[in-house]
Structure 1
Amino acid sequence: MKYILLSMTLLALSCKSAQPQTKAEPQPQQEVITFKEMDITAQKKEAPERTRNLIIYYKDDADLQPLLNVAKKEKLELIYQYKNFKAIAVKVPDDRDLEGVKSYLQTLAGVLSVNYDEVNQIQGAGTSEGSFQQ
């Protein structure tokens, strides 16, 4: 029994393949990019491009016609009347103060808010700008 156990142990040890000792080849260093080092164009921009358009949100459907009358009286061009929510987009003429018109519209009855219409662009859409490159 001793011989069988000894021979089984030797057989098991001899079956273990010895891997040759080789020098490890140097791996190419991977560049580590931290957020501080990234060049993000969006951070360099001061603000999104602003148009002379305002989006006016109103409370009820009954508030729409008086709002349209005020817009016509103030010579604001109606750009769009939103169908999915209660709002209109108007263009303020170049000869009018944009902030002043916005402040005036916010004081009207039935107006919930007046927001600037802004143009925002997705960073690097369709280009390699803004993406990680290897």
Structure 2
Amino acid sequence: MGNIGIVGVERDSRVERDSGVERGPLRFRLRLIGLEIVAYDGADFTGRYLDEVLKPPVDKVVLRQYEDCAESGRPMAFSYRTSGFGRFEAGIDKLFLPFSDGGETVSHIFVCLYASFIDPWSDERATIQDYERDGGTVAFDPSEL
């Protein structure tokens, strides 16, 4: 279970403004984090909110990926490279599988995340900044999976 996570989707109709930070109606709580993801991050963020632990330059893009999955209710896959792991560049492959408690709104996102620090295809991958510029996420029709 090292490369998986379960992220809870919390909805709030209010927009908070504390310390000058605006939070939208969706927040993502890290419910279960696999040991490999803990090793990538350098800390166990289980129980924390995603917007509290993400750092630039990846924060906005990664939050948008989770928002897109939660709002569309569709599985999504991402493949890119980032230097979000300190001074090391990594190839990232992620799969998001949305789940619902009642069948209508996404309540949890099951995440598979693999980071490769020796990535032979790294030059062929888009960067996280490319995703930010073009808004690129890939949604899949479940019948295609």
TM interval, shorter chain, is under 0.3
Q: Please, what TM-score do these two structures have when normalized by structure 1?
A: 0.22
Q: Please, what TM-score do these two structures have when normalized by structure 2?
A: 0.21
Higher share of residues assigned strand: 2
Q: Larger relative CO (CA 8 A, sep 6+): 1 or 2?
A: 1
